[in-house]
Structure 1
């Protein structure tokens, strides 16, 4: 018995000693972190470094600086960008922009009102609008604009805050110590190699990010090539509509990006593109694409080419989102997640991400606590899903449906989609709410995809089901599953099928409260 008692008392003493040691060590570590954070504040070290001052970097800088953070933004080129992407802000994007306090950045740039879609196929036309009778707590209108003007307004808004420093420089690499990112090395505007340190670094340098490969394992897939130019001194008959022509091999678009400028673009699937420099591209457009454009739009479509407009080519990419395994760094925007741009909703997903992330980071006293930031990112990854999963699935699926084909099943799905959007009522309003980001609910999107499939099968079997038509109908159903299943895997089955997540997202980030 004496021996047992001695063992028990010894064990108790060991446990107490270990507990006291562990608690003391934890307290010392917390004190040290607090001292480091305080020292950084005294030395003027920023709380956050943001790589890239595009839409995402500028909006995030403003959001974090409003919460009292010191933000250092490093942008490769501070001149006004010249892009043909990011020229449409959907109604859901405008709501999120307002909740970030950035709604005035759409003013003073000659932005044009967007009310919906004008869809064309085989000589038929249908006009659709964003629904008015939903629970969406904002004006059901979007905006078209010059992307560069919008970016410059965001930069001005961010730099108007005293705790934001915008600097022109090219980031070369991340500074990493023991698996934790501590800052960046970059070449400043004078050509000098220098460094910047901060407890947290955010990489937001776009689809061509040179830092992404060090942070994520995911690779961007090039799906097609977007070719575009501007026809100047033009006004569309319906300037408030995005004109989408279901052409061959894919689609063409026209939309009013200013009171006098019309963006014209089309898509090619092959990387064997006609040369722009020797005029082959312009000839190709005039001979192959323009004849498919409706007569009332064709003059505008050709005007830019006839006047020698600058033709730009950019890659359409898609890439699922994955969290970085590195600590001390966050990846956002097209460096983090991409989908086909046909529904023009990439900025909406980005603004949603920024709103969620800024709210999650706000309570953290020390952004240098990598464990806390890692927990925040896990929550962020789940909370963003209703918006991102809806837009990613819709963008990629709609693009695949738009591709012309000689396959009878595929063409039936293409025709069924056009007829579904043309049918009016809850079908059209439901889909337009999805396009506008007014109802970010993946389960609702799955419902519409299922109904479009049945709608297309019904047309395919009409006027009576022959064995061949039944076979094509089964293949069409298989095609529909191929559109959906990869996204269920990429986004997560529970996230796609859970209405509770979407309801919580709407309540938290799309309620009636606007800054």
Structure 2
């Protein structure tokens, strides 16, 4: 029996290496591509993984993995990829709003994985403080250099007996003569000796394309286009003190928004959001560097500013990435091929949810395409049914993360008085201690979309109350402003609806 298994494995290796044939062809060895390839290979599928460039990538996003992503890595058997890359534990968030600040941690999890809400506030009454009851473990995220993590994932794939990895540039899909079903992909492979690229082909019962945020196949297969409102410009700060340690830091200034988190023992990533066509970032105003120096730097804590100045001292324009929103699309239009990862669905990277979405998508995809469900992936009707289920089942997690990312970006990068009022309401809500469920959803460990809507509109109500008190308080005649307060309350509520409901509808339905 063992000999038959070994013989089958040898035949599969020969099919992949010599004939370029496999059960699955995965295009793109990024986070999702590697995770999906590894998950399917673990089920006994024969997998070909294609990557245009196998050198260590140098991206400025994809560096913060939420607890829900760490858990997905564990389910995939890839948790070891966080080792030996100087990954830093992340326990929660620290938010600064024009001089005020608050920090909050991921809530603890019970032994069965349920979120234990309000554990910190109940310490004195439930025995945690006295040591009578062991406090549930709190989940942890990880932050790291993106390229190091990717190379660990690729190393795991190259070591898997059911995966063959090829460095080649995918140029087009291959379709059958008598149907539109995709049979594989055309590529160009570089000869290391001569440098010349020669045509090549790879064939699979199913082709999974995960070619990233700048996908060349998105228009052909989905017909969608990302919406871009801003860019993140990146600095790498060396030995930058920023307490509390092991937290993601969100700094909101009068006209600026920055995200900072440690990615190594000595390195801290600073991502500065610059809205598209912002007047303070024009060439005449000094471009991105001018914006950072004149707008962002004064809003940062004094102990962070020297590290930022040192990072700007080289005189170069910081690396940038577009901040994109791309709602998900059903994957049932084309037989033989699916498009996933950032090519399929993106959200603003402010909340660091991208890799968590990708890894959970890989877990869900593998479960729906498992050999026990679909023995042969050339059964297109069965794959279509699985992808229809995939579209809806992923929303309990990805819908929350995507809506949170877009809504919080709108509030934190507020450019009008109504959004400023909502921004203040959100910050005050956190100050009052209502952080467990929001940060659990942010971390990918709480999957209840109705809870997200409840919190958002509670924030809107608090924002209206604070605004009304400010407008009508401080004077015995303040009640005369009540009609104006009512009008402005409606305007704030309307703005909240405009920010939240269209994104919620798009992401969840």
TM category, shorter: 0.7 to 0.9
Does 1:345 find its partner at 2:336?
A: no
* 1:392 match: 402
Unmatched 5+ stretches in structure 1: 1-36, 494-515
Residue aligned with 1:110, SS: coil
Distance 1:100 1:284 in 2: 42
* 1:15 match: none
* 2:293 match: 286
Q: 1:173 to 1:231 in 2, by over 3 A?
A: same
Deviation larger for 169-178 or 127-136: 127-136
How far residue 193 of structure 1 moved from its aligned partner, in angstroms, is 1.1
Residue aligned with 2:276, SS: coil
8 A Cα contact 1:93 1:351, kept in partner: yes
Distance 1:43 1:297 in 2: 56
Q: 1:70 to 1:310 in 2, by over 3 A?
A: farther
Residue aligned with 2:70, SS: helix
Does 1:366 find its partner at 2:382?
A: no
Does 1:411 find its partner at 2:412?
A: no
2:496 to 476, 480, 483: 480
Distance 1:107 1:309 in 2: 32
Q: TM-score, normalised by structure 2?
A: 0.84
Distance 2:271 2:351 in 1: 14
8 A Cα contact 1:120 1:126, kept in partner: yes
8 A Cα contact 2:104 2:435, kept in partner: yes
8 A Cα contact 1:235 1:260, kept in partner: no
Q: 1:162 to 1:310 in 2, by over 3 A?
A: farther
Distance 1:248 1:257 in 2: 27
* 2:217 match: 211
2:54 to 74, 78, 83: 78
* 1:375 match: 385
* 2:130 match: none
Distance 2:59 2:411 in 1: 26
How far residue 275 of structure 1 moved from its aligned partner, in angstroms, is 8.0
8 A Cα contact 1:118 1:127, kept in partner: yes
How far residue 329 of structure 1 moved from its aligned partner, in angstroms, is 0.5
* 2:9 match: none
8 A Cα contact 1:231 1:309, kept in partner: no
Rg larger in structure: 1
Does 1:490 find its partner at 2:466?
A: no
Q: 1:97 to 1:489 in 2, by over 3 A?
A: same
8 A Cα contact 2:107 2:138, kept in partner: no
8 A Cα contact 2:20 2:202, kept in partner: no
Does 1:441 find its partner at 2:442?
A: no
Distance 1:214 1:443 in 2: 35
How far residue 323 of structure 1 moved from its aligned partner, in angstroms, is 2.0
* 2:338 match: 330
Distance 1:490 1:404 in 2: 22
8 A Cα contact 2:56 2:148, kept in partner: yes
How far residue 46 of structure 1 moved from its aligned partner, in angstroms, is 0.6
Unmatched 5+ stretches in structure 2: 1-11, 116-135, 192-196, 474-478
Q: 1:204 to 1:55 in 2, by over 3 A?
A: same
Residue aligned with 2:214, SS: coil
Distance 1:309 1:129 in 2: 36
Distance 2:49 2:109 in 1: 41
Q: 1:79 to 1:270 in 2, by over 3 A?
A: same
Deviation larger for 449-458 or 128-137: 128-137
8 A Cα contact 2:73 2:359, kept in partner: yes
Size of the alignment, in residue pairs? Answer: 452
How far residue 188 of structure 1 moved from its aligned partner, in angstroms, is 1.0
1:144-183 → structure 2 map (5 Å cutoff): 144-177=143-176, 178-183=179-184
* 2:273 match: 267
How far residue 480 of structure 1 moved from its aligned partner, in angstroms, is 1.3
1:179-258 → structure 2 map (5 Å cutoff): 179-190=180-191, 191-258=197-264
Any idea what the Cα deviations from partners look like across 1:414-453, whole Å, max 9, x if unmatched? 11111112221xx111211111112121111001001101
* 1:68 match: 44
Distance 1:310 1:358 in 2: 41
Residue aligned with 2:200, SS: strand
* 2:121 match: none
How far residue 295 of structure 1 moved from its aligned partner, in angstroms, is 1.4
8 A Cα contact 2:98 2:254, kept in partner: no
* 2:485 match: 469
Distance 1:133 1:358 in 2: 25
8 A Cα contact 1:229 1:309, kept in partner: no
More helix by share: 1
Q: 1:64 to 1:143 in 2, by over 3 A?
A: same
* 1:401 match: 411
* 1:34 match: none
Q: 1:279 to 1:265 in 2, by over 3 A?
A: same
Distance 2:261 2:234 in 1: 11
Q: 1:49 to 1:271 in 2, by over 3 A?
A: farther
8 A Cα contact 1:408 1:472, kept in partner: no
Distance 1:250 1:91 in 2: 28
Does 1:431 find its partner at 2:438?
A: yes
